[in-house]
């Protein structure tokens, strides 16, 4: 009996060594493939997607999160979505983000008011830091199982490769952005607006999808510059642009058309939805309190909303939005045109009245 027991122990040890070595070799082969793939990706989003797949498939993590801060923008990738609410609190704390700064979620197309799910415990969350002079980034993980000793080394190899790939792509993006991004507001410039509008109009026509556009500008903006100075006016433009970008969908496109005028392209959006969005944005802008030195500046905006028609051209669509914006200003400013129909409370007669706002 003792001989059999000793034999079983030897066999168990031998099998453990054999299969442990085989598992390591398999992991390293998969790891090599992922590292090669990481360096072939052509955008930070693709790199993060590949990193998520690598860490989950090789190391079996049940939560993966990634956040990267570039200039005034913070992007995040969270999988699965049910952890968004809890992990967002961690990301805001780690990157010192006030609640007014929106996090752009790369893998979830969430409307700003959409529910983000219940809270989960982050007690066993593991965090890794990446970055260079161009960006700051953090990786967040919760392990599904007990981590193997070799996992720490593998994670470091994966993250080093990710950092190199991410730094390269962010440098490329910065060169590209210099040609298409308005440096003051961080929105697309007018030239890129035209490129984006042509592309989105062609896609909408090809797939028979809705597409809407709104144009807005800031009411009495010249008075703000005259009263507070141009640096204060620039601050107002930056804050308004940031507010609008934070409250539109990821796929929506915002561009600075010129001066204090902006245009948003809303793919797969009918005119009613576009008007509702414009109204929400109008209200948010009107509630802003923008600090400039020891002064607080308030501002309002007027919106013109149009939907692409079968015969629309890019120039015609912009012109139509401009006409609606002009009507909004003639209608008293701080409003949208066409207006939303609201049902007024019934009067004593019991007859309901509708009015355009």
Average pLDDT of every residue of the chain: 81
For 132-174, the pLDDT digits (tens) are: 777 788 888 887 665 555 567 777 888 888 888 888 887 777 7
Q: How many domains is the chain built from?
A: 2
Whole-number CA gyration radius for the chain: 26
Of 219-223, 226-230, 292-296, minimum mean pLDDT range: 292-296
pLDDT at residue 1 tops 50: no
pLDDT at residue 100, as a whole number: 64
What are the CB-based long-range contacts (under 8 Å, 24+) for 221-225? 221/259, 221/260, 221/299, 224/297, 224/299
Range of the domain at 233: 190-343
The answer to whether residue 355 is domain-embedded is no
Instruction: State residue 147's pLDDT score.
Output: 53
Query: In this structure, are 202 and 170 located in the same domain?
Result: no
Look up the CATH number of the domain holding residue 278: 3.30.70.270
| 337 and 200 together in one domain | yes
User: Which has more pLDDT, 83 or 332?
Assistant: 332
Q: Are residues 61 and 142 in the same domain?
A: yes
Which residues 6+ apart lie within 8 Å of 183 measured at CB? none
Domain assignment present for residue 7? The answer is no
pLDDT surpassing 50 at residue 223:
yes
| Contact assessment for residue 64 and residue 52, using Cβ atoms and an 8 Å cutoff | yes
Does residue 260 have an active-site annotation?
yes
φ/ψ of 350, rounded to 5, equals 85, 5
Q: What is the mean pLDDT of residues 297-326?
A: 95
Judge if 71 and 150 occupy the same domain.
yes
Q: Are residues 172 and 199 in the same domain?
A: no
- pLDDT higher for 47 or 339? 47
Compute the average pLDDT of residues 111-127. Answer: 68
78 and 213 fall within a common domain: no
List phi, psi (to 5°) of 351: -90, 130
Look at 8-12, 61-65, 80-84, 103-107 and tell me which has the smallest mean pLDDT: 8-12
Q: What DSSP string runs through 262-308?
A: EEEEEET--HHHHHHHHHHHHHHHHT--EEETTEEE---EEEEEEE-
- Among the three residues 161, 180, 199, which one is the final residue of a domain in this structure? 180
CB 64 within 8 A of CB 140: yes
Whether residues 232 and 329 share a domain: the answer is: yes
Residue 13 is assigned to a structural domain of this protein: no
Give the best-scoring range by mean pLDDT among 91-100, 159-168, 208-217. 208-217
Asked whether the predicted pLDDT for residue 90 surpasses 80, the reply is yes
Note whether residue 162 is domain-resident: yes
Mean pLDDT calculated for residue range 65-84: 80
**Within a domain: residue 8?**
no
Inter-CA distances, 45 with 162, 170, 187, Å: 12, 10, 19
Question: In this structure, is residue 161 part of a structural domain?
Answer: yes
pLDDT for 4 beyond 50: no
Q: State whether 145 and 294 are in the same domain.
A: no
CATH value at residue 40: 3.30.450
pTM over 0.75: no
Two tokens, residue 344: 């007024």
Same domain, 26 and 171: yes
One domain, residues 120 and 244: no
Does residue 351 lie within any of the structural domains? no
Which DSSP string corresponds to 233-266? HHHHHHHHHHHHHHTS-TT-EEEEEETTEEEEEE
State yes or no: pLDDT of 345 exceeds 60.
no
Look at residues 117, 147, 180 and tell me which one is the last residue of a structural domain: 180
Looking at the DSSP bridge assignments, the partners of residue 295 are 292
Same domain, 194 and 324: yes
Q: Which of 260, 261, 268, 353 is catalytic?
A: 260
Whether 238 and 338 map to the same domain: the answer is yes
Among 147, 180, 213, which residue terminates a domain? 180
Q: Is the pLDDT of residue 56 over 50?
A: yes
């Amino acid at each position: 009996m003792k001989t059999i027991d000793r034999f079983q122990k030897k066999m168990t040890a031998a099998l453990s060594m054999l299969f442990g070595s085989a598992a390591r070799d398999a992991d390293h082969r998969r790891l090599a493939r992922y590292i090669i793939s990481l360096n072939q990706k052509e955008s930070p989003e693709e790199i993060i997607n590949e990193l998520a797949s690598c860490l989950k498939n090789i190391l079996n993590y049940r939560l993966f999160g990634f956040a990267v801060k570039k200039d005034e923008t913070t992007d995040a990738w969270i999988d699965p979505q049910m952890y968004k609410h809890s992990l967002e609190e961690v990301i805001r704390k780690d990157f010192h983000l006030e609640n007014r700064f929106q996090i752009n979620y790369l893998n979830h197309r969430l409307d700003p008011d959409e529910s983000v799910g219940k809270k989960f415990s982050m007690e066993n969350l593991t965090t890794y830091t990446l970055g260079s002079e161009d960006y700051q980034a953090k990786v967040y993980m919760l392990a599904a199982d007990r981590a193997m000793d070799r996992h720490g080394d593998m994670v470091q190899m994966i993250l080093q490769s990710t950092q190199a790939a991410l730094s390269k792509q962010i440098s490329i993006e910065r060169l590209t952005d210099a040609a298409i991004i308005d440096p003051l507001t961080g929105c697309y410039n007018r030239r890129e607006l035209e490129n984006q509008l042509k592309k989105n109009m062609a896609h909408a026509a090809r797939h028979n999808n809705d597409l809407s556009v709104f144009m807005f500008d800031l009411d009495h903006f010249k008075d703000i510059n005259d009263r507070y100075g141009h640096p204060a006016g620039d601050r107002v433009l930056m804050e308004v642009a940031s507010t609008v970008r934070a409250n539109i969908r990821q796929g929506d496109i915002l561009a600075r058309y010129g001066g204090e005028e902006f245009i948003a392209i809303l793919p797969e959006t009918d005119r009613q939805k576009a008007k509702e969005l414009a109204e929400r944005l109008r209200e948010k802008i009107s509630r802003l309190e923008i600090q400039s030195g020891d002064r607080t500046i308030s501002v309002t905006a007027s919106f013109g909303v149009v939907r692409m028609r079968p015969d629309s051209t890019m120039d015609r669509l912009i012109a139509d939005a401009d006409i609606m914006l002009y009507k909004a200003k003639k209608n008293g400013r701080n409003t949208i045109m066409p207006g939303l129909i609201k049902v007024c409370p019934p009067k004593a007669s019991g007859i309901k009245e509708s009015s355009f706002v």
